[in-house]
Amino acid sequence: MRRGRLGGLSLVGIGTALVLWIVGQLGTPSSGPAPQGTMVQGDGFPKVLIDQTGRRVVLAHKPERIVSVTLATDEILLALVERSRLLAVTYLAVDERISNVPREAAAVPHKIRADAEQIIALQPDLVFVASYVRGEVIKLLQDAGLTVFQFQEYDSVAAIQQNIRLVGQVGGEEARAEALIMEMNTRLQAVTARLVHAKARPRVLYWGAHGYTGGDHTSLQDLIILAGGENLAATHGIVGFATLSREQVLAMNPEVIFTAGDSRETQCGLPEFRLHPALQTVDALRNERPRSAEEGIGIVAVIHDLSMAIRCFRRLVLIHEGTVVGDGPPVDVLSVETISRIFRVQARLYQDQASGTPLLWFPVDKKRLAPRTLME
């Protein structure tokens, strides 16, 4: 994506972190303080795990039968430990609409939910659960003699890195965790370097599915600032997460709006940005003509719905396995040949006779293997 088009906002360098934030945060929006997760004491093994109640459990050996019941730990563990040590990940890990690691997760033997009976039957030596997993589920696991690590919520990039460090510590992969954090910092520093000559911070608003946004004391705030923008939600006094009305968005008048979600959520949220008459006066959507680099006005969405992509956007950047494989008008980027080659599905392209917009149709027996897409 050209940096000038967003008036200095550099999103590409932190795209992965942004997607991880969206996946981790939108499922459980909250404006309260993040609860404390499990703490770890000890170098090497044995280690002592201390949960929120003060309960102490000794982890005698490096865990070899690990179960993950949160998408965030799915992704971190797949980056840190050998596949042979992962007994199960969540069913969400193989859902290409929201997971960053669907192919890696496919090789893990079991895909599970936060079901105590299902987890106990696997007899793991370590279980990672989310901070929002019901207390009775955790108690059942503990009563069955399982060692449980409760993942902390996070409200900053530093907190994300601390979670990576804790997962590495309890899993006996401290060096790999530090290497992953170093790689993350290198990417963030590259973004900072690109912003040295930026003249102004564009006014940015995340407006997600069902109207959710994130203000101060959220990792989203960190990401927008690191990308060179001003988070309007924080500027207007929002702390934590909240829902926004159209009237509030009008009052904020963002220069850049970005959103994300699966196809069902996007159908509910994204068209409203472009189609609702009340929103056409905000700078991010004013007029339908192409924007110049000097104007620095645009809308960014991270989405996996190809039909939505080809119908609603003027420009599309298609990313497959970390490489840009297409950049331009959606009908050019999402040709039926490209869809067949990259997504491994058959598609047909039509034109809506009433609106003139392109339409994609897929056979009923399609099998999706979708890469990430970044559109504006």
Residue 45 shares a structural domain with residue 147: yes
Domain that holds residue 224: 1-34+192-298
Question: What domain count does the chain have?
Answer: 3
Give yes or no for residue 187 having a pLDDT over 70. Answer: yes
Q: Apex CA 262: angle with CA 257 and CA 268, to 5°?
A: 65
Highest mean pLDDT among 17-26, 98-107, 302-311, 362-371: 98-107
Return the percentage of the chain with pLDDT > 70, whole number. Answer: 74
The pLDDT tens digits of the residues spanning 60-100 come to: 999 999 999 999 999 999 999 999 999 999 999 998 878 88
Residue 210 shares a structural domain with residue 285: yes
Give yes or no for residue 334 having a pLDDT over 70. Answer: yes
Q: Apex CA 319: angle with CA 112 and CA 314, to 5°?
A: 115
- So what's the pLDDT on residue 178? 96
Give yes or no for residue 3 having a pLDDT over 70. Answer: no
User: 11-15, 175-179, 220-224, 278-282: which range is least confident on average?
Assistant: 11-15
Residue 236 domain-assigned? yes
CA distances from 348 to 232, 307, 337, 370 (A): 40, 11, 10, 17
Side-chain half-sphere CA neighbours of 343 within 13 A: 24
Residue 25 shares a structural domain with residue 92: no
Domain boundary among 298, 319, 350: 298
Residue 292 shares a structural domain with residue 224: yes
Mean pLDDT over 210-233 rounds to 89
Mean pLDDT over each residue of the chain, to the nearest integer: 78
Residue 169 domain-assigned? no
Mean pLDDT over 10-14 rounds to 37
Mean pLDDT over 331-355 rounds to 80
Give yes or no for residue 206 having a pLDDT over 90. Answer: no
Mean pLDDT over 283-296 rounds to 50
Amino acid present at 302: V
Residue 145 domain-assigned? yes
Please, which pLDDT band fits residue 257 given cuts at 50, 70 and 90? confident
User: 30-44, 149-163, 228-242: which range is least confident on average?
Assistant: 30-44
- So what's the pLDDT on residue 299? 58
The DSSP code for 211 is G
Residue 81 domain-assigned? yes
Please, which pLDDT band fits residue 364 given cuts at 50, 70 and 90? low
Highest mean pLDDT among 62-66, 290-294, 330-334, 348-352: 62-66
Domain boundary among 253, 268, 298: 298
Residue 186 domain-assigned? no
Residue 325 shares a structural domain with residue 350: yes
- So what's the pLDDT on residue 104? 92
Give yes or no for residue 283 having a pLDDT over 50. Answer: yes
The pLDDT tens digits of the residues spanning 299-329 come to: 566 667 777 777 777 788 888 777 788 888 8
- Which is more confidently placed, 283 or 333? 333
Cα radius of gyration rounded to whole Å, the chain? 22
Mean pLDDT over 366-375 rounds to 42
Please, which pLDDT band fits residue 52 given cuts at 50, 70 and 90? confident
Give yes or no for residue 362 having a pLDDT over 50. Answer: yes
Max CA distance (Å), the chain: 68
Instruction: Give the distance, in angstroms, between the CA of residue 71 and the centroid of all CA atoms in the same chain.
Output: 10
Domain boundary among 298, 325, 357: 298
The pLDDT tens digits of the residues spanning 120-156 come to: 999 999 999 988 888 899 999 999 999 999 987 778 8
Residue 157 domain-assigned? no
Give yes or no for residue 296 having a pLDDT over 60. Answer: no
Give yes or no for residue 291 having a pLDDT over 60. Answer: no
Return the percentage of the chain with pLDDT > 90, whole number. Answer: 34
Residue 30 shares a structural domain with residue 131: no
User: 22-31, 59-68, 248-257, 270-279: which range is least confident on average?
Assistant: 22-31
Residue 55 shares a structural domain with residue 145: yes
Beta-carbon contacts of residue 202 (< 8 Å; ≥ 6 apart): 6, 7, 8, 9, 228, 229, 230, 255, 256, 296
CB 310 within 8 A of CB 330: yes
Residue 17 domain-assigned? yes
Residue 142 shares a structural domain with residue 58: yes
